[in-house]
Homo-oligomer: A and B are copies of this chain.
Amino acid sequence: MINKNHPRYNSLVLREKIEKAYDDGYLGKTAMIAHGRGEAFDYLLGEETSYPAKRSMYVAVARLLLAKNPVISVNGNTVALAIDDIIELAENINAKIEINLFYRTEKRVEKIAKIFKEKGCNDILGTNDDEIEYINNIKSSRATASLKGIYTADVVLIPLEDGDRAELLSKAGKKTISIDLNPLSRTSKASDISIVDNIVRAIPFMNEIVKDLKMQTIDLLEKIIKDYSNEDNLKDSLDSFKIKGDIKWKL
C-alpha cells in the first residue's frame, strides 16, 4: 500500500494500476515505459488540466455528439487507468468501444474483452471474433479496424494512441481526437483535436461537458467546432507546461 503522505501519492496510485494491468496480462512492457513518459509530461504540466486542454475537450465533445458513427478506441493503458469513465462516456455520447492494441495478442484482447464484460459491456468491438478489416487496404497490424467500428467511423477518440496509427487514421479521413500528454508527439500533431491532458482527468471532465452540450442546439455545436483552431490550441497547450519550476536548493 502506498502511504497517503507520499509527495507523489496520486502519481503512484496510477502507477500501481499500470503495474497491476501488466500482472493481469493485458499490458506489454512497452506500455509501462509509455506510462512513465506520461508521468513526466504530467509532472511538467503540474498535474492539472490546462485551459487549452479544457477548450479542446469542449470541441471534442461537440464533434462526438455530431458524429454519425463515433468510436472510442481503447488500449491496455486506457483500460487500466480509466475504464469506468470510458464506459460512461460511450453511453453518454452513444459511441462504440473498440479494442486496439499496439502489440495485439489474442490473449490480451480476450482479457480486456472479459474486463468489459464484467462491467456489463457485451458489445465491445475489436475482439477476437469481430470482423476486422485493413484501413485503406494497408496490410499492417497498425491498420486493422473493426468493420462496424473504426473502419466505418467518421469520428474516432484515440486516447494514448501510437503515432503511426494516429497518422494512418488521419490519412484515412477520420476525424481524430487524441488524448496525449505530449503536445509534440506525432499523435498530437496528426490529430484534428488534440487534448493534452491525463486521461484520468480528461475523460471525467468530458463526461461533465456532455451534460452541458447535450442541451445545446446543433448550430451551437457546429459553431464551437468552426471557431476552433487545433494548431493554436496545441501551441497554447505547449505554453502551459511549467518547465520553469522553482528549485529549492538542498534540504
Contact = CB atoms under 8 A, between A and B. Distances in A.
Interface of A: 7, 15, 18-19, 22, 29-30, 32-41, 43-44, 167, 170-171, 182-184, 186, 189-190, 230-231, 234-235, 238-239, 241, 243-245, 247-251
A15 B33 contact: yes
B245 A243 contact: no
Interface class of chain A by DSSP: helix
A147 to B, nearest CB: 25
Contact of A40 (B36, B238, B251): B36
A171 B247 CA distance: 18
A178 to B, nearest CB: 13
7 contacts: A19-B33, A33-B36, A39-B40, A43-B184, A170-B250, A183-B245, A184-B247
B250 A40 contact: no
B29 A19 contact: yes
Contacts of A170: 250-251
A43 B188 CA distance: 15
Contacts of A241: 243
B251 A171 contact: yes
A80 B22 CA distance: 21
A189 B247 contact: yes
A247 B183 contact: yes
B184 A245 contact: yes
B36 A250 contact: no
B238 A245 contact: yes
A127 to B, nearest CB: 27
A235 B37 CA distance: 22
A52 to B, nearest CB: 12
Considering the complex of A and B, which 5 residue pairs feature the smallest CB-CB distances, nearest first?
A36-B36, A40-B40, A33-B36, A231-B249, A37-B40
Most chain B Cβ neighbours within 10 Å, of A44, A186, A190: A44
A18 B230 CA distance: 35
Given A40-B40, A244-B238, A249 B33 contact: no
A48 to B, nearest CB: 15
Contacts of A235: 247
